[in-house]
Chain A
Amino acid sequence: MGSFQSLPDDHQYRTLSQKTGFSLEQIAILHNRFKQLSQNEETLWRDDLKTIQDLESNPIRYQIIEAFFDRRNFQKDGVGSVEEIGFEEFLTVMSYFRAPAHRITEEQREEMRRAKLRFLFNMHDTDNDGTITLEEYRHVVEELLSRSGALGRETTKGIADAAMLEVASISVGPMAPDEFYEGITFEHFLKILKGTEIETRMHIRFLNMDTTVLCKQRCV
């Protein structure tokens, strides 16, 4: 368990709070959680996340874990992935799941949308080339249906193909039989998910109360 003796570094917390938008209490709680997961070390490894029991039943756990170590999610032009992350990166990734504040302007809302959708896009685009190819999309659907056995495998291709067709027809429109649709670019991705209100749906509640005590037995 994390040691509570070390006082929260107030200055550090403040800069983090400014950067990510979390409140100080939330940062403290997440820091405790970080320490709990990393067994009190400074950095977190993939294996640390893999030990979380509740993640076992999640079909896309590998993508989720990867997302924490993906440089593109830390800063705008990051490339590649890292082996270990510090608390700041952990918090940065978590900040993608904050809810929009009550009174924000349209631009801020749009910016938040783009950021969240960029996060999702990065999760799909594993080879980092800026487009989601058919293969990558198929992989996504496969993972989602990975717990459905044979029935899943068979229709996976059909679903992925149908989805790809849809994206192509919405983004590009009519195509001659010779043309080839390379893959879903970020702009197309934005377009197809226009209807879903990502900024309100993609969030979790970050509590101001420490609940890590409650699941002490289960985690790690």
Chain B
Amino acid sequence: EKEDIYIDYCGMFILVLGLLVGSLMPLGGAASSPDTGTGHGGSHGNKDPGYAKNGNGTTYSKKPFPVLSFDYEHVRLPFEISLWVLLASLMKLGFHLIPRVSSIVPESCLLIVVGLLVGGLIKLVGEDPPVLESKIFFFYLLPPIILDAGYFMPIRQFTENLGTILMFAVVGTLWNSFFVGGLLYGVCQLEGHKLAYVDLLSCLLFGSIISAVDPVAVLAVFEEIHINELLHILVFGESLLNDAVTVVLYHLFEEYSSVGLITVTDVFLGIVCFLVVSLGGIVVGAIYGILAAFTSRFTSHTRVIEPLFVFVYSYMAYLSAEVFHLSGIMALIACGAVMRPYVEANISHKSHTTIKYFLKMWSSVSDTLIFIFLGVSTVAGPHQWNWTFVVATLIFCLVARVLGVVGLTFVINKFRIVKLTSKDQFIIAYGGLRGAIAFSLVYLLNPEHFPMRNMFLTAIITVIFFTVFVQGMTIRPLVDLLAVKKKQETKRSINEEIHTQFLDHLLTGIEDICGHYGHHHWKDKLNRFNKKYVKKCLIAGERSKEPQLIAFYHKMEMKQAIELVESGGGSKLPSALPSTVSMQNIQPKKPSQDRALPQLSKAREEEIRKILRTNLQRTRQRLRSYNRHTLIADPYEDGWNEMLIKRKKMKELEKKMNNYLTVPAPPPDSPTIARARLASDPQAWGLKSVTESIPTIKVDLASPQSPESVNVVDEFSKKGSQPKEEEGGLTMKVPSPAKQRKDKTPDEEPQQRLMRCLSDPGPAAEEEDEDDPFLPQKKSW
């Protein structure tokens, strides 16, 4: 009966499509619409007011023109889907609004309960609750979650622990399957009358299905407990990589359960199949990943569809792998992991944000829907409760997991530098949650071949409930109780990045001196190969040559700049550097250099210096409630008037200065120093925007600056902002002694360099001379 409903749905969908097409054909013939179902013909006729002449067999008697009609049937499917999604999202909202509940009970539990309630409700009404259809699950609900996980996978930790992860995934899952399957068979035989029909292969099949750790459940629970990265990647990596094992075992046992026996050849072929499935999946994923990276190279003119390429290529990788019965999950992970570094170098910042948010959104919705449907399916699904079987399953699963983890860790620790402690082992064992994948796999079983399917279903649901509810709820207090190391929330600092790189090279060098080719040597070789050949192919333009350190630095600057703009311009400090250390503090005092600047009288310089000082101090005090929108500058303060006059003069002169060439300048400073100097010095450059293409974020905060420098700047800009100023953002203005500087250009280079540093990855800035602006502080008095 359930199948009827679904066939009905599909039929209706195609019907609606056909109807739409038919109705659009102008004055089509009699057969313009396909055979309509019973209730649809009339409604169709109602829907086409313009084509009253459409001869499709409806009545010719004239009816009054239907102003309003009710036709639910033809939007039923999308309507229901949307309703479910809406329900899921509202539930998610609701949980987080109730603070106490969400801290005790993990979200997944609550969602299952909701599912149970909804299922119960539907049953009460008399309808049949929908079941989590395996096809929908595997094609629509699972991929977003896996892609989200794969795209944001921390590659470094993953590869460092790859051996351990593989051991757990492959050997652990095999051990679990055979242990559970074998012992269950024993129990079934012992039990006798009710369970005697369960044969060995079915038990093994069941064992293989239930022993796989589920990535969805693991993610759902582990995400909330913020455990340290090592454990997270171990359990999570295991849950992803065991998919290949599960696929092979499932197909193996399913194929041969009808036959009833497995030969050695089959086992051997099974092993070969395992290698093919896993490696094949990875290769397929990698191919699509490279394609996606390559495509992203050309998207500089069509930035809006960049995220689409990421999603579509990944989904295609998944589907392609499924065509050959390879591991779709591994394909998806490989695709995401391979494409990410190249795509991120090519796409714009906005696309990156879009990808991130879309992936998170989809995976969140999927995750929610899966758990709700689990609950609903529990109410709906055909159950066959058998105390012995279910309890035995539960116990064996737990025992197998513990034994497996302990045994494997013993072996693994011989090869690891950072050994896994018993606390770690406990968490790994305890975190082996089962979830919806197992359920769907059982659901796929053919009831004819497997008459005990319903019993399996019941058992699996029980195990899932147990792991998600009991283990999921208690893992958080246990983590606290055992004082397991939690995730460190620190942001990656530039120093750490520098030293990470340094260490990599250092260790590679030491390995070379030692003379053996270890871990670092091969990693270094791979990196060099990557840099030399692959990056050139897959990354557009100049970014292909950008070393990681520089990329990191640009990203950091970008982040800070955006953070500051978003926070309203200064009231909230960028979290990286909260102090007021500025460039003056670290820049060694330069000897006064030979400049082609006119000499100011000492008195003048002293005066200006004093003004700057007082203003700097004042702005520091005003730091608290600064917001560029609310700032009202006090026009009667000392020195402001003077500044104002100078600025006006500067503005006039700026127009004349644009054509001057650069003056021979002292060796160029880094952009950081330049910005620092410019910012902290109110007599910084007044810069006009050179072209429209320069982004409007003219914030001088990409570098870790003292916020006061910003504020100073801003006050000035507020003070002197003239109506013709096009940008309302923070700009740097220059009220410098204009007279003396008549012949000098303020140079657009500093601004351009700023823009370049702040804008999206662009071409490498040319080495330009930067005229050293007037710096009273730096001169030796």
Contacts and interface: CB of A to CB of B under 8 A. Distances in A.
B611 to A, nearest CB: 14
Nearest to B507: A204
A164 B588 CA distance: 12
Contacts, number: 218
A153 to B, nearest CB: 8
A106 interface: no
Nearest to A160: B670
Contacts of B673: 157, 161
Q: Chain A interface mostly helix, strand, loop or mixed? A: helix
B581 A181 contact: yes
A153 B765 CA distance: 11
A79 interface: no
Given A58-B508, A158-B670, A164 B586 contact: yes
A175 B517 contact: no
A120 B507 CA distance: 12
B510 A154 contact: no
B509 A55 contact: yes
B670 A165 contact: no
Contacts of B518: 204-205
A94 B510 contact: yes
A123 B505 CA distance: 13
Interface string B490-511: 1001111011111101111111
Contacts of A57: 524, 528
B494 A55 contact: no
A192 B515 contact: no
Interface stretch (A3-11, A12-20, A70-78, A138-146): A138-146
Contacts of B542: 151
A28 interface: no
Contact of A154 (B528, B616, B767): B767
B703 interface: yes
A123 B498 CA distance: 14
B515 A212 contact: yes
Given A99-B417, A175-B585, A167 B495 contact: yes
Interface in A114-150: 120, 123, 133-135, 140-141, 144-145, 147-150
Contacts of B509: 55, 58, 60-61, 64
Contact of A159 (B553, B577, B579, B587): B553
A205 B417 CA distance: 9
A46 interface: no
Interface stretch (B447-455, B543-551, B599-607, B636-644): B543-551
B514 A33 contact: yes
Contact of B498 (A55, A68, A144): A144
A200 B229 CA distance: 15
B586 A134 contact: yes
B703 A140 contact: no
A64 B510 contact: yes
A206 B518 CA distance: 9
Interface in A153-197: 153-169, 172-175, 177-181, 192-193, 195-196
Contacts of A58: 505, 508-509, 512, 524
B263 interface: no
A159 B703 CA distance: 10
Contacts of A94: 510, 514
B580 interface: yes
A145 B548 CA distance: 9
Given A204-B514, A205-B519, A207-B516, A162 B586 contact: no
A169 B585 CA distance: 10
The CB with the most chain B CB atoms within 10 A, among A99, A155, A167, A207, is that of A155
Nearest to B494: A163
B573 to A, nearest CB: 11
A140 B515 contact: no
Interface in A33-55: 33, 36-37, 49, 52, 54-55
A159 B494 CA distance: 8
Given A144-B498, A159-B494, A177 B777 contact: yes
A149 B513 CA distance: 27
Given A134-B587, A154-B767, A145 B507 contact: no
Q: Chain B interface mostly helix, strand, loop or mixed? A: helix
A105 interface: no
B584 interface: yes
Contacts of A193: 495-496, 499
A99 B54 CA distance: 83
Nearest to B765: A154
B553 A162 contact: yes
Range of interface residues on B (Cβ < 8 Å): 35 or more
B583 A165 contact: yes
B568 interface: no
A174 B495 contact: no
A204 to B, nearest CB: 5
Interface residues of A, number: 77
B669 A144 contact: no
B672 interface: yes
B515 A195 contact: no
A149 B545 contact: yes
A157 B586 contact: no
B418 A152 contact: no
Contacts of B281: none
Contacts of A177: 582, 584-585, 616, 680, 777
B416 to A, nearest CB: 9
Contacts of A180: 585-586, 588-589
Given A99-B417, A165-B704, A172-B581, A33 B550 contact: no
Contacts of B496: 192-193, 195-196
B507 A169 contact: no
A219 B670 contact: no
B578 interface: yes
A143 B103 CA distance: 49
B130 interface: no
B648 interface: no
A172 B524 CA distance: 36
Nearest to B757: A158
Nearest to B531: A147
Interface in B187-220: none
A29 to B, nearest CB: 9
Nearest to A61: B509
A17 B583 CA distance: 48
Given A161-B673, A202-B507, A175 B577 contact: no
B550 A155 contact: yes
Given A58-B512, A97-B507, A160-B670, 12 more contacts: A57-B528, A60-B506, A151-B542, A161-B587, A161-B673, A161-B703, A166-B494, A195-B490, A195-B496, A203-B417, A211-B516, A214-B517
22 contacts: A57-B524, A99-B417, A133-B588, A144-B505, A150-B767, A151-B542, A153-B767, A159-B494, A161-B672, A162-B557, A166-B495, A169-B579, A192-B493, A195-B488, A196-B496, A202-B503, A202-B507, A204-B507, A204-B518, A204-B519, A204-B520, A205-B518
Interface of A: 30, 33, 36-37, 49, 52, 54-55, 57-61, 64, 68, 94, 97, 99, 102, 120, 123, 133-135, 140-141, 144-145, 147-169, 172-175, 177-181, 192-193, 195-196, 200-207, 211-212, 214-215, 219
Q: 4 closest pairs, A vs B, by CB?
A: A157-B670, A169-B579, A54-B512, A161-B672
